[in-house]
Amino acid sequence: MLRPRVLVIDDSLTIRAMFEELLLADPELKLVGLAESAEEALAMIDQVTPDVIAVDLHLPGLNGLDFLDRIKDHWHPMSAVLVSSSAKHKSDICKEAFARGAVACFDKSKLIANGAKLCQLLKDAAQGHFNHASYRTCGTTLPTKAEAAPAATDAEDAKAASDPAYFSSTSSSAMLG
């Protein structure tokens, strides 16, 4: 598997530098861009084609949640992780981020203490799978099954739209049930 390509969006130069150090030290990740605003990131996405985006909540102009809305239907599939000091475990911000398409939230105040876990989270997000047990105490919030359901439905809708056999097989099994 190719190294996941990571784009970081944070308005703090210090946080971007911390991310840069963490990501460049991990040979399994490839840092493809650093942006200080959502608008700058939107202009970069088509050129750098990230697999996963680490996005701050509080940004000048377009905020992190609105950014999630903007990338939801992008031609290039990518995962997003909300990285914010507001992203405390089970917070309303995390619930809102999941509803808007984030696959995970990470508490930015744990960036240094749990940098290796953040790197693993970015790898897992890029691959679309998580070992929930490994994230219990490191500042990470993953969606519950109910919170993840809208994303699963969107993925199923996309599969159905591109594969007529999928639709007919799921329809007939639903009728048999």
Burial of 47 (0-12, 13-18, 19+ CB in 10 A): exposed
| Domain extent listing, the chain | 5-142, 144-177
Q: With beta carbons less than 8 A apart as the criterion, state whether 105 and 73 touch.
A: no
pLDDT of residue 44: 95
Q: With beta carbons less than 8 A apart as the criterion, state whether 11 and 57 touch.
A: no
Q: What count of other Cβ atoms lies within 10 Å of the Cβ of residue 42?
A: 16
- 70 vs 152, higher pLDDT: 70
pLDDT in tens, 4-63: 999 999 999 999 999 999 999 999 999 999 999 999 999 999 999 999 999 999 999 999
Q: Tell which CATH classification among 1.20.910.10, 3.40.50.2300, 3.40.50.150, 3.40.50.300 matches the domain 5-142.
A: 3.40.50.2300
pLDDT in tens, 90-115: 778 888 998 999 998 899 988 888 89
Query: pTM for the complete prediction?
Result: 0.76
At a CB cut-off of 8 Å and minimum separation 6, what does 45 contact? 7, 71, 74, 76, 78
**The one-letter amino acid at 15:** I
